[in-house]
Amino acid sequence: MKISEIKNMTPDELKEKLTESINELRQLKFNHSVQSIENPLQIKVLRRQIAKMKTIINQKKED
C-alpha cells in the first residue's frame, strides 16, 4: 500500500485497516515460528505499513 493511498483514507478506514494489518502480522509471526513461510520479507513489509498508518493517524489528529 502506497503512502498516497493511506493519506486518502478516512480516519475510520485507517483504524480498520490498521487492526487488520496488526492481526495479519500476528498471524504471520505465529506461522513463521511454527513453520517456514513462503515470503519472510512480508513481515518486514507489514511492519512498515503499520508504522506508516500510525504516522498518518497521528498527523491527522494534530490537524
Structural domains in the chain plus CATH codes? 3-62 (1.10.287)
Q: How far apart are CA 63 and CA 47, in angstroms?
A: 25
Give the residue from 18, 17, 46, 16 showing the smallest Cα distance to 31: 46
Q: Which residues of the chain have pLDDT under 70?
A: none
Whether the full predicted model's pTM is greater than 0.85, yes or no, is yes
Report pLDDT for 57: 93
Report pLDDT for 61: 86
Report pLDDT for 48: 96
CB 25 within 8 Å of CB 57: no
29 grid coordinates: 509471526
